[in-house]
Structures are given as C-alpha cells and as structure tokens.
Amino acid sequence: MLNQGIQLYLAVAVSVGGLALWWSLQSPQRQRPQFTTMDTIIERERAEVAQPAVTNNPTREVERQLRRDAISHARAPQARVPHTAVPQAAAGQPVDVTDATFSSVVLDNDLPVLVDFGADWCGACRMIEPVIHELAGELGGQAVVAQVDVDDNPQIAARYGIKALPTLMVFKDGQPVEKVVGAARKAELRARIDSHSAPSKTLL
C-alpha cells in the first residue's frame, strides 16, 4: 500500500513538472504581444508623406539614399547675394533682413545701409512705409535700404537697443552712424545717408 502511494505521488509530481515546463516555454510568446496603436499608424503615414516618393528603385538602399539626398538638399543654406549686389534697386523694394542675414546684408556691406526697425502692428511704421520704398527705388547702387521686423528678429533689436518704433539707423562699414527715432521725412533720411558716402563716423 505504501509503495502504491509513493508511485502515485511520483506520477503526480512528474505530471505537474511537465505542465510547468510546457507553460514556461509558451509564456514568453504570450508576454510579448505586438500592438499597433493609432500613434504608430499616424507616425508611419507622416513619414511616408514627408519623404518624396521614389519609383523604379532597384533596392531599398537606393531609395534610402535618394531620400537622404533630398533632405540634405532641402536643409542646405541658400547662396547669398554679394553685398554690393543686393537685388533691391531693380525692384525698388527694401530688403527684408533677419537675425541670420543681418551681418551679411548690413554689417559687411560696402555701401551705406539704412535699416528700418518696425513691426506690423506699429501704426507709425505703416505711415513711413511709402518713404522707405521711395528711398529704396531712388538710391539704387548708392545705398541699401533694409527692413527688420523686431517681433520676428528680437536678437537684432536687443543688440542695438531698439525700444521705440519706428527706429531708423544708418550703418557704414559695419558701424551705426545715424539714428532717428519716430517718423522722419524722406529729405532728412536722404541727407543722413548721403553724408556717409565719405569715410564713416561713429554714432555719438
């Protein structure tokens, strides 16, 4: 009777051990379900839309290379126009200057540069707008007329202490040489620009 009890116990133990082994082999697969969330689908669709479609690819590697080239070309900086050839004279329009282009257009320019610091919401800036455009058309190759939106380009405004709008400054050889706060007549601005065709003087 005792032997039968031991045999029964051993049979049950072997059965339980085998079941535990089978469950352990199956559980890793059950613990790693693969879910596709809406965020994943949206990200995939965005990536496909953002990347240019490439047809007739021999391999996926070629497609990846073409996409990398397209991204590099889009991020490449545009070639800058030489300082003395800023394309404003022909069109008669002032040059829009940003934080990134201020040095190349204004500070490194061989010509005197009149910079109009303003903003879209500034009523006085809109009043002086026709004067700025007239000067841009009249000066031609004698000087450059530029505009800076202080809201979009706060670094330049802070650098030169622009606290009132409009503020007009004349730069020569990379230095501010004239400053007018508020609306000004075209004749006054023209005289200030013309006075710096000779060697520059620094702002007092």
Same domain, 137 and 101: yes
Q: CATH no. for residue 164?
A: 3.40.30.10
Model confidence at 184, pLDDT cuts 50, 70, 90, reads confident
With respect to residue 65, please indicate whether it lies within any of the assigned structural domains. yes
pLDDT reported for residue 107: 95
> DSSP label at 202?
-
3-state helix, strand, coil in the chain (%, to 5): 50, 15, 35
With respect to residue 124, please indicate whether it lies within any of the assigned structural domains. yes
CA 182 from centroid of its chain's CA atoms: 31
Same domain, 109 and 70: no
Full-prediction pTM beyond 0.75? no
**Residue scoring higher pLDDT (1 or 30):** 1
With respect to residue 98, please indicate whether it lies within any of the assigned structural domains. yes
Q: What is the count of structural domains for the chain?
A: 2
Q: What is the pLDDT of residues 104-146, one digit of tens each?
A: 999 999 999 999 999 999 999 999 999 999 999 888 778 999 9
Spatial CB neighbours of 115, under 8 Å, sequence gap ≥ 6: 97, 106, 146, 147, 148, 168, 169, 170, 171
Backbone angles phi, psi at 175, to 5 degrees: -120, 140
In this structure, of 20-29, 75-84, 184-193, the range with the lowest mean pLDDT score is: 75-84
| pLDDT value at 186 more than 70 | yes
Same domain, 65 and 43: yes
Same domain, 71 and 154: no
Same domain, 115 and 171: yes
Same domain, 176 and 113: yes
pLDDT reported for residue 146: 95
With respect to residue 137, please indicate whether it lies within any of the assigned structural domains. yes
Among 76, 107, 131, where does a domain finish?
76
Same domain, 71 and 168: no
Q: To the nearest whole percent, how much of the chain has pLDDT over 70?
A: 51
Q: Which domain holds residue 69?
A: 37-53+61-76
Model confidence at 45, pLDDT cuts 50, 70, 90, reads low
Same domain, 190 and 96: yes
Query: Are residues 150 and 157 in contact, defined by beta-carbon separation less than 8 angstroms?
Result: yes
With respect to residue 200, please indicate whether it lies within any of the assigned structural domains. no
Separation between Cα atoms, residue 107 and residue 94, nearest integer Å:
16
Token pair recorded at residue 41: 């689908």
As annotated, the active-site residues are 122, 125
Same domain, 147 and 71: no
Average pLDDT over residues 151-155: 94
pLDDT reported for residue 111: 93
Same domain, 120 and 48: no
In this structure, of 19-23, 25-29, 99-103, 189-193, the range with the lowest mean pLDDT score is: 25-29
Same domain, 134 and 65: no
Average pLDDT over residues 167-189: 93
Among 76, 107, 132, where does a domain finish?
76
Q: At what angle do helices 186-194 and 123-139 cross, to 10 degrees?
A: 50
pLDDT reported for residue 26: 61
Separation between Cα atoms, residue 115 and residue 165, nearest integer Å:
12
Separation between Cα atoms, residue 123 and residue 126, nearest integer Å:
5
